[in-house]
Chains A and B, each alone.
Chain A
Amino acid sequence: MKFSRFAVVGLLLVLLMAISVAPVVAQETLPRNETLYFNGQQWGPVTGWNPYSNSNNNAMAIAQQDNARVIMFETPYLYNMLDGQVYPLLADGPYSWNEDRTELTFKLKPAARWSDDTPLTAHDVAYTWATHVKYNTPTGAGNIDYIADVVAVDDYTVTVKAKLNDEGAAVNPLIVQAYVSTNYVIQKAWTETLEARANGDAVALLADTAEDVVYSGPYHGYFWDDSKVIYIRDDNYWGQDASMWGKLPVPKYLAHNIFTDNAAGTLALQSGEVDVSQQFNSNVQDLWLVEGLPISTYLPDAPYGIGASLPTAFFNLNAHGLDNVAVRKAIAIAVDYPTIIANAMTNQSATFDQVPRSLMNPTPGEQAMYDRAAVADLQWAGNDIEGAKALLDEAGIVDTDGDGWRELDGQPLRYVATCPNGWSDWQAAIEVVAAAGAQIGIDITTNYPEWSVYQTVVTKSDEPLPEGYEIFMMWSDGAGPTQPWSRVRKLLSSEFNGMASNWNGNWGGYANPEADALIQAIPTITDEAQLKEMYTELVRIYLTDVPSFTLMYRPQSFHTVNESVWTNFPYDGDGTNPPVPPLDMTDGWAIAGLYNLELVNP
């Protein structure tokens, strides 16, 4: 009798659990044939829908980067990393510069409308910028040095006015033109509602979760909790107008379950619970070669994706000995890069034989922007232990006390190489760097702090990096409308040294006036031959001074697809024109892929 009472209580508890976590909604199970599942983009609960803020952790909907994510909020133009061009989205036709390159003008499509069915006008574009400036949002603060104003010339014409230097020229026309493909247009009327709610307070405005936000894109939030986020198509989306896509995107729902780690995400991809995977799937080729699953990548063979960013080891130039270029270069040339690419990246990176190191990513467009032959004598293939030893011997950095480790000015060369804990591919890479040190008489140990600690230390450029951060890994820019200039800037420019929170680059504290001058000049140059010369010189400086060194190439996004339910995903040479890049059909021009999908079993 007692046991049955317990059983009843137990059942009631379980029932209570079901009810307590269950808001009442109409739909219970998403129809598989109407839902496209993702992984690798959303790694924690969505915390908001505010396009002015960077703190929403709403990765599927809000990411204003080089290839802005445009499923919910839209930019005037879409960047295509494959051809380096921008294509109109909200904009009507290409933009134009005035003669002095100080003002950029574009028109908006008359068909463009907001989700509340009001027209999207130039006043929205201008008010978006004004709000960014007024409340010092990340977008405002990041662009205010380069953009003087965004004005509505008439209802459908927008002019972006560049900030001018003392000579009356635009400080940086590259950033001005990038603004129109990297930043969302947000509705003026909704912004005014938000401002009223925040009562003029910037922190309150950025902290607003904005669940009532008005948007112009094809999808919006449908359901989200701690374990998933689901977006539903807006069947009144303006983009089905003939002046844009002419139809709606194919999947009715976009869904992203939140996985604890890559292993859980890979398991879901294998079982067909995920259609598009933007995460690192180790030995991805085994999924089709060994397991025979209907899974594929953008390229059929290694490196399986288009390399775009350069995971890089930075030297802390304040550490003893690392201010000496011989020590830096010796470590860099001793590292076994093929092992890193084979093990850490499971061959999902081009090798440095295929793409010699420079400041460029492996895309043909960027590779053509410097003279590879002119810097060939400065290149290194890695694993050059004897060369590294000779370099150190020549610089007088030898083992003077016979303990097996080299000394400089009587002090041993002892370093910690570090990267965030749990970033397994980076950890594997940093272990190879440490192993290289042991072979050339430099004592390198490894350490893996949690990301929360790591990021606050590395990005605090107004103080020297503390001990334990002598060699450390961070990323570099991928592909975008300001590349390769922006990447070069972030790898070499001294302008970031001393920032309270430096999320740009050059974390080791490198400073070179010659490099700074070239970086400052490039955005104003339009002559291609001159640009190539300047980039080549910057690569020469980089390979000579070695303030940091690339360890591998990495795709902008991983793009692995399971074709159990959906097919006709973008792949290399699929015949689409312009080509759809491997960016999970959410970023920049890649969203065109959502309009091409087909069901395997309609």
Chain B
Amino acid sequence: MKGYRNYFAKKLVWFLVTLVVAFLLNFTLPRLMPGDPVAAIVSRAAQGMSNATGVQAIYDQYTELFGTDKPIPQQLVIYLGNVLRGDFGYSISQYPRTVADVIGSSIWWTVMLQLPAILVGWILGNVLGALAAYIRKGFDKVLLPASLFLSNLPAFGMAVILLVIFGVSLRWFPTSGGYDYAMVPSVSWEFFVSVFRHYQLPFWSIVLITIGGQAIGMRSMAIYELNADYVKYARFLGIKDSKIIRYVFRNAMLPQVTGLALSIGTMVSGALVAEIIFSYPGLGNTILTAVRGGDYPLISLATLIITWMVLLAFFGLEIVYGLIDPRIRAAQSE
């Protein structure tokens, strides 16, 4: 267990170092973007004003508020202090809303869209891949090219195809928004149905892409395992096929679990395409608006969330690997 403690400590140090570096980059990079974000707020405040002194006074008020009149290292210290208190500042493009408020109102849409989509895509993809490896014959001949096609289709291509076929032509599902245009959100069956209907196209656009990739991965791993010596030996011993298959798929699952963890880690950024094409009110749309608006406090927090999630996914994965894979523990003990 001492080996594992060393392993854990090393991973933790790397995790914390990466976190600090990511935080610094998240703070610095958006601030190197061209354009003066405070000028953007002042520009809204100063529209129509024709006296230089009045505009300058307003400009000074806002530079002081956002601290852009101070050098970047000093801004960083202030920002860090604020973040530790949970204050991520004001959004520039949606001033006077706070960044936390803007992210808070959109992130749940993204999580609720992406998490089920990734899980459903992952489950269906793995089941189909495993079946293809086991059944082979006609099933595999259909599934393999279909999976290759789906996994290579760009996300926006899939979204547009679904939009045109099921939204515009067949009119089965709404083409944009999170709920019906005439509705006010409420705890009601009617609203739930509306959300569910608006959910379908973006959901399936993500699921179908995920299925393709997962099915191919699972199929390859399962075929590899099915040809492994232990399977042949088990068959030679007369163990039932259903029991062998259970072992085979358990072994084939390991890399698939890695893929799942990474998908969940990157889900916030992965939502971008589907959300934009279907005007879905999630974080993807928020990030796009923030980038267009030079809204660096908003960009900083959004990218920080993505970074945290990816890092946590990796960290969690490595910790779990250390626990479940004796080879890693053994290597660390040496």
User: B-contacting residues of A (Cβ < 8 Å)?
Assistant: 3, 6, 9-10, 13-30, 32, 35, 37, 44-45, 47-48, 53-55, 57, 65, 136, 138, 140-142, 144-145, 202-203, 206-209, 223, 225-228, 230, 255, 257, 259-260, 264, 267-268, 273, 449-453, 455-457, 459-460, 495-496, 498-504
B55 proximity list for chain A (CB < 8 A): 141, 499-502
**Interface 1/0 per residue, B87-123 and A, CB below 8 Å:** 0001001111100000001101100110110011001
Looking across the interface, which residue of chain B has its beta carbon closest to that of A496?
B50
The answer to whether B285 has its CB under 8 Å from any CB of chain A is: yes
Give the distance in Å from the alpha carbon of A13 to the alpha carbon of B267 in the complex. Answer: 15
A142 touches B185 (CB 8 A): no
For the complex formed, measure the closest distance between the CB of B161 and the CB atoms of chain A, giving whole angstroms.
17
Give the residues from 23 to 61 in chain B that come closer than 8 angstroms, CB to CB, to chain A: 33-37, 39-59, 61
The answer to whether B294 has its CB under 8 Å from any CB of chain A is: yes
Looking across the interface, which residue of chain A has its beta carbon closest to that of B120?
A10
Give the distance in Å from the alpha carbon of A138 to the alpha carbon of B47 in the complex. Answer: 8
A230 touches B184 (CB 8 A): yes
Which one, A17, A44, A136, A140, contacts B108 given CB within 8 A?
A17
Give the distance in Å from the alpha carbon of A29 to the alpha carbon of B190 in the complex. Answer: 9
The answer to whether B279 has its CB under 8 Å from any CB of chain A is: yes
For the complex formed, measure the closest distance between the CB of A177 and the CB atoms of chain B, giving whole angstroms.
16
B47 proximity list for chain A (CB < 8 A): 54, 138, 503
Looking across the interface, which residue of chain B has its beta carbon closest to that of A459?
B43
Which one, B35, B44, B281, contacts A227 given CB within 8 A?
B281
Whether A32 contacts B182 in the complex (CB less than 8 A), given A21-B109, A206-B45, comes out as yes
B96 touches A48 (CB 8 A): yes
A13 touches B116 (CB 8 A): yes
The answer to whether B191 has its CB under 8 Å from any CB of chain A is: yes
The answer to whether B196 has its CB under 8 Å from any CB of chain A is: yes
For the complex formed, measure the closest distance between the CB of B67 and the CB atoms of chain A, giving whole angstroms.
13
Whether A259 contacts B279 in the complex (CB less than 8 A), given A225-B105, A453-B35, comes out as yes
Interface size on B, residues (CB 8 A): 78
Whether A29 contacts B54 in the complex (CB less than 8 A), given A10-B119, A259-B279, comes out as no
A145 touches B35 (CB 8 A): no
Give the distance in Å from the alpha carbon of A108 to the alpha carbon of B55 in the complex. Answer: 32
The answer to whether B236 has its CB under 8 Å from any CB of chain A is: no
A55 touches B41 (CB 8 A): yes
A24 touches B186 (CB 8 A): yes
Give the distance in Å from the alpha carbon of A80 to the alpha carbon of B120 in the complex. Answer: 58
B177 touches A17 (CB 8 A): no
For the complex formed, measure the closest distance between the CB of B318 and the CB atoms of chain A, giving whole angstroms.
26
Number of A-B contacts (CB under 8 A): 219
The answer to whether B249 has its CB under 8 Å from any CB of chain A is: no
User: A-contacting residues of B (Cβ < 8 Å)?
Assistant: 33-37, 39-59, 61-62, 64-65, 90, 93-97, 105-106, 108-109, 112-113, 115-116, 119-120, 123, 175-188, 190-192, 195-196, 199, 276, 279, 281, 285-286, 289, 291-295
For the complex formed, measure the closest distance between the CB of A490 and the CB atoms of chain B, giving whole angstroms.
8
For the complex formed, measure the closest distance between the CB of B62 and the CB atoms of chain A, giving whole angstroms.
7
B33 proximity list for chain A (CB < 8 A): 453
B95 touches A25 (CB 8 A): no
A138 touches B50 (CB 8 A): no
For B52, B109, B187, the residue with the greatest tally of chain A CB atoms inside 10 Å of its CB is: B52
Give the distance in Å from the alpha carbon of A268 to the alpha carbon of B279 in the complex. Answer: 13
For the complex formed, measure the closest distance between the CB of A500 and the CB atoms of chain B, giving whole angstroms.
5
Which one, A16, A26, A55, A459, contacts B96 given CB within 8 A?
A55
A503 touches B94 (CB 8 A): no
For the complex formed, measure the closest distance between the CB of B166 and the CB atoms of chain A, giving whole angstroms.
15
B61 touches A202 (CB 8 A): yes
B190 touches A264 (CB 8 A): no
B106 proximity list for chain A (CB < 8 A): 226
Which one, A29, A268, A504, contacts B183 given CB within 8 A?
A29
B115 proximity list for chain A (CB < 8 A): 13
B40 touches A455 (CB 8 A): yes
Whether A30 contacts B183 in the complex (CB less than 8 A), given A10-B116, A225-B105, comes out as yes
Looking across the interface, which residue of chain B has its beta carbon closest to that of A498?
B52
Give the distance in Å from the alpha carbon of A203 to the alpha carbon of B65 in the complex. Answer: 8
B178 touches A14 (CB 8 A): no
A503 touches B186 (CB 8 A): no
For B48, B56, B115, B192, the residue with the greatest tally of chain A CB atoms inside 10 Å of its CB is: B48
B105 proximity list for chain A (CB < 8 A): 45, 225-226
B289 proximity list for chain A (CB < 8 A): 44
A14 touches B54 (CB 8 A): no
Q: List 15 A-B contacts (CB under 8 A).
A: A14-B195, A21-B178, A29-B180, A45-B97, A141-B57, A144-B54, A203-B64, A228-B181, A257-B181, A267-B176, A273-B181, A451-B293, A457-B35, A502-B55, A503-B46
A273 proximity list for chain B (CB < 8 A): 181-182
A24 proximity list for chain B (CB < 8 A): 186-187
Given contacts A55-B41, A273-B181, 17 further A-B contacts (CB under 8 A): A14-B199, A17-B112, A17-B113, A23-B185, A24-B187, A28-B190, A30-B182, A37-B181, A136-B61, A225-B185, A226-B105, A260-B276, A260-B279, A452-B37, A456-B37, A502-B55, A504-B49
A47 proximity list for chain B (CB < 8 A): 94-97
Looking across the interface, which residue of chain A has its beta carbon closest to that of B57?
A136
B62 proximity list for chain A (CB < 8 A): 203
B192 touches A136 (CB 8 A): no
Which one, A10, A206, A227, contacts B177 given CB within 8 A?
A227
B294 touches A453 (CB 8 A): yes
A501 proximity list for chain B (CB < 8 A): 39, 42-43, 46, 55, 58-59
Looking across the interface, which residue of chain B has its beta carbon closest to that of A57?
B94
Give the distance in Å from the alpha carbon of A296 to the alpha carbon of B62 in the complex. Answer: 44
Pick the 5 closest A-B CB pairs, nearest first.
Answer: A141-B54, A17-B112, A452-B294, A453-B35, A207-B96
Give the distance in Å from the alpha carbon of A217 to the alpha carbon of B95 in the complex. Answer: 25
B41 proximity list for chain A (CB < 8 A): 55
A35 touches B176 (CB 8 A): no
Give the distance in Å from the alpha carbon of A37 to the alpha carbon of B183 in the complex. Answer: 12
B182 touches A54 (CB 8 A): no
For the complex formed, measure the closest distance between the CB of B288 and the CB atoms of chain A, giving whole angstroms.
9
For the complex formed, measure the closest distance between the CB of B200 and the CB atoms of chain A, giving whole angstroms.
11
Give the distance in Å from the alpha carbon of A6 to the alpha carbon of B120 in the complex. Answer: 8
B182 touches A207 (CB 8 A): no
Which one, A16, A228, A450, A459, contacts B294 given CB within 8 A?
A450
A456 touches B50 (CB 8 A): no
Give the distance in Å from the alpha carbon of A19 to the alpha carbon of B295 in the complex. Answer: 29
B51 touches A460 (CB 8 A): no
For the complex formed, measure the closest distance between the CB of A263 and the CB atoms of chain B, giving whole angstroms.
10
Whether A20 contacts B112 in the complex (CB less than 8 A), given A203-B62, A267-B175, A450-B292, comes out as yes
A3 touches B95 (CB 8 A): no
A136 proximity list for chain B (CB < 8 A): 54, 57-58, 61
A500 proximity list for chain B (CB < 8 A): 52, 55-56, 59
A22 touches B185 (CB 8 A): yes
A25 proximity list for chain B (CB < 8 A): 184-186
A260 touches B54 (CB 8 A): no
For the complex formed, measure the closest distance between the CB of A66 and the CB atoms of chain B, giving whole angstroms.
9
For the complex formed, measure the closest distance between the CB of B328 and the CB atoms of chain A, giving whole angstroms.
27
Which one, A30, A144, A203, contacts B51 given CB within 8 A?
A144
A27 touches B42 (CB 8 A): no
A268 touches B181 (CB 8 A): yes
B35 proximity list for chain A (CB < 8 A): 450, 452-453, 456-457
For the complex formed, measure the closest distance between the CB of B246 and the CB atoms of chain A, giving whole angstroms.
12
Give the distance in Å from the alpha carbon of A17 to the alpha carbon of B65 in the complex. Answer: 35
A6 proximity list for chain B (CB < 8 A): 119-120, 123
A459 proximity list for chain B (CB < 8 A): 39, 43
B187 proximity list for chain A (CB < 8 A): 18-19, 22, 24
Which one, B34, B54, B179, contacts A453 given CB within 8 A?
B34
For B36, B95, B185, the residue with the greatest tally of chain A CB atoms inside 10 Å of its CB is: B185
A460 proximity list for chain B (CB < 8 A): 36, 39
B45 proximity list for chain A (CB < 8 A): 53-55, 138, 206
B177 proximity list for chain A (CB < 8 A): 227, 257
Looking across the interface, which residue of chain A has its beta carbon closest to that of B279?
A260
Give the distance in Å from the alpha carbon of A450 to the alpha carbon of B290 in the complex. Answer: 11
